[in-house]
Amino acid sequence: MPGECTPQLRETIENTIRFLAVDAVNAAKSGHPGAPMGLAAAALELFDNHLRFDPSDPDWPLRDRFVLSGGHASMLLYSLLHLYGYALSLDEIRQFRQWGALTPGHPEYGLTPGVEVTTGPLGQGFAHAVGMALAARMTRSRFGGAPNAEQAPPGEHFVYGIMGDGDMMEGISSEAASLAGHLGLGNLVFIYDDNQITIDGPTDISLSEDVPARFAAQGWHVSSTIDGQAVGEFSEALKAARGETERPSLIVLRTVIGRGSSAVAGKNKAHGAPLGAEEAARSKQALGWPTEPAFLVPDEVRTYFEGRIGAKQAARAAAEARHQVWREANPERAEGWDAARDRKLPGNLGDLLAKGFAGVDDSTRKHSAAVLERLHEVVPYMVGGSADLAGSAAPPILKEYGIVGPGAAEGEDPYAGRNIYFGVREHAMGAVTNGIALDGTLLAYCGTFLIFSDYMRPSIRLAALMKVRSLFVFTHDSFYVGEDGPTHQPIEQLDSLRVIPGLTVFRPADGVETAMAYAWALQRAEGPVLFSLTRQGLKAVDRLEGFELEDVWKGAYGVREPGRSPDVVLVASGSEVSLASEAAEGLAERGIEARVVSMPSLELFFAQPEADQLALVPDDGTPVVAVEAGRGESYRRLVGRRGLIIGMAHFGESAPAGKLAEEFGFTPGAVADRVAEHIAGA
Closest CA to 460 of 483, 427, 482: 427
Residue 272 scores a pLDDT above 90:
no
Domains located in the chain, CATH noted: 7-314 (3.40.50.970), 349-532 (3.40.50.970), 554-681 (3.40.50.920)
Q: Pick the catalytic residue: 116, 156, 426, 633?
A: 426
Indicate the helix (H) or strand (E) that contains 268. Answer: none
Q: What is the pLDDT of residues 170-189, one digit of tens each?
A: 999 999 999 999 999 999 99
The enclosing H or E element of 51 equals none
Residues paired with residue 221 on neighbouring β-strands, in sequence order: 249
Q: How confident is the model over 453-472, as pLDDT tens digits?
A: 999 999 999 999 999 999 99
Q: Are 413 and 392 within 8 A, CB to CB?
A: no
Q: Which residues contact 573 (CB under 8 A, 6 or more apart)?
A: 507, 508, 509, 598, 599, 600, 602, 628
Task: Judge contact between 110 and 451, C-beta under 8 A.
Answer: no
3-state secondary structure at position 599: coil
SS3 assignment, position 414: coil
- Name the CA dihedral angle for 417, 159, 85, 289, rounded to a multiple of 10 degrees: 170
Region for 196 from its dihedrals, namely left if φ exceeds 0, alpha if ψ lies in -120 to 50, beta otherwise: left
Strands (DSSP E) contained in 150-307 are 159-164, 188-193, 197-198, 201-202, 221-222, 226-227, 249-254
587-605 confidence digits (pLDDT tens): 999 999 999 999 999 999 9
Q: What is the pLDDT of residues 232-261, one digit of tens each?
A: 999 999 999 999 999 999 999 999 999 999
For residue 573, what is the DSSP state? -
Strand partners, 653: none
Residue 2: its pLDDT value, please? 46
Percent of the chain with pLDDT strictly greater than 90: 96
Are the beta carbons of 118 and 106 closer than 8 angstroms? yes
* Residue whose C-alpha is closest to residue 367's, from 519, 479, 503, 486: 519
Nearest to 13 by CA among 109, 61, 80, 74: 80
- Residue 81, pLDDT above cutoff 90: yes
pLDDT per residue as tens digits for the range 16-41 = 999 999 999 999 999 999 999 999 99
Average pLDDT over residues 384-404: 91
Mark whether 426 is an active-site residue.
yes
Is-contact 222 249, C-beta < 8 A?
yes
* pLDDT tier at 674, thresholds 50, 70, 90: very high
Decide: residue 333, CB within 10 A, 0-12 exposed, 13-18 middle, 19+ buried.
Answer: middle
According to the model, what pLDDT value does residue 391 have? 85
> Is the bond preceding 395 in cis, omega lying within 30 degrees of 0?
yes
Q: At what angle do helices 668-681 and 576-588 cross, to 10 degrees?
A: 60
- What is residue 407's predicted lDDT score, i.e. its pLDDT? 87
Alpha carbon distances (Å) from 58 to 109, 113, 114, 327, 678: 11, 6, 5, 22, 58
Percent of the chain with pLDDT over 70: 99
Rounded-to-5 percentages of helix, strand, coil across the chain: 45, 10, 40
Which residue from 236, 239, 232, 309 is spatially nearest to 3, judged by alpha carbons? Answer: 309
158: left (phi over 0), alpha (psi -120 to 50) or beta: beta
**Which residue type does 326 have?**
W
How many C-alpha atoms does 281 have within 13 Å on its Cβ side?
5
What CA–CA distances, in Å, run from 561 to 306, 592, 598, 610? 69, 12, 12, 20
Length of the chain: 682
Q: Return the pLDDT at 411.
A: 86
The pLDDT tens digits of the residues spanning 318-342 come to 999 999 999 999 999 999 999 999 9
pLDDT of amino acid 3: 58
Per-residue pLDDT of 412-451, as tens digits, reads: 999 999 999 999 999 999 999 999 999 999 999 999 999 9
- Report pTM: 0.97
Cα gap 139→612, rounded to integer Å:
44
Average pLDDT over residues 392-398: 87
Amino acid at position 341, single letter: R
Give mean pLDDT, residues 269-280: 94
Q: How confident is the model at residue 119 (pLDDT cuts 50, 70, 90)?
A: very high
Using CA atoms, how far residue 487 sits from 350, 495, 498, 653, in Å, is 36, 17, 21, 9
pLDDT band at 1 (very low <50, low <70, confident <90, very high): very low
List 251's β-bridge partners, or say none.
Answer: 191
Residue 665, class by beta-carbon neighbours within 10 Å (0-12 exposed, 13-18 middle, 19+ buried)?
A: middle
